[in-house]
Amino acid sequence: MDESFDIYFSGQCLDDFEPEAVRDGLITLFNMTPDAAVQLMNGTRHRIKAHCNADTVAQFETALRRIGARIEIVPVEDTATQVDDNLWTIAPVGSLLSEAKQTDLRVISVPDYSLAELGAPIPTLVQEVTPVSPRIDHLSLRDDASDE
Candidates 49, 52, 5; CA nearest to 29 is: 49
CA 101 to chain centre: 25
What kind and span of H or E run contains 40?
helix 34-40
What pLDDT is attached to residue 144?
A: 66
Q: Residues for the chain: how many in total?
A: 148
Q: At what angle do helices 19-30 and 54-67 cross, to 10 degrees?
A: 130
Cβ neighbors of 56 (< 8 A, separation 6 or more) are 49
In a domain, 59, yes or no: yes
In a domain, 111, yes or no: no
- Proportion of the chain above pLDDT 70, given as a percent: 88
- pLDDT reading at 81 higher than 60: no
Mean pLDDT, rounded, for 72-88? 69
In a domain, 91, yes or no: no
Is residue 9 within 8 A of residue 46, CB to CB? The reply is yes
Name, of 20-24, 86-90, 113-117, 140-144, the range with top average pLDDT.
20-24
Q: What is the pLDDT of residues 121-137, one digit of tens each?
A: 777 767 778 888 888 88
The total of structural domains in the chain comes to 1
SS3 of the chain: helix, strand, coil, percent, to 5: 25, 15, 55
- pLDDT reading at 103 higher than 70: yes
In a domain, 44, yes or no: yes
Q: What is the pLDDT of residues 15-39, one digit of tens each?
A: 899 999 999 999 999 999 999 999 9
- Return d(Cα 23, Cα 18) in angstroms, integer: 9
Residue 58: CATH number of its domain: 3.30.1390.10
Is residue 50 within 8 A of residue 5, CB to CB? The reply is no
Global pTM value: 0.52
What domain range includes position 38?
5-79
In a domain, 137, yes or no: no
In a domain, 145, yes or no: no
What kind and span of H or E run contains 61?
helix 54-67
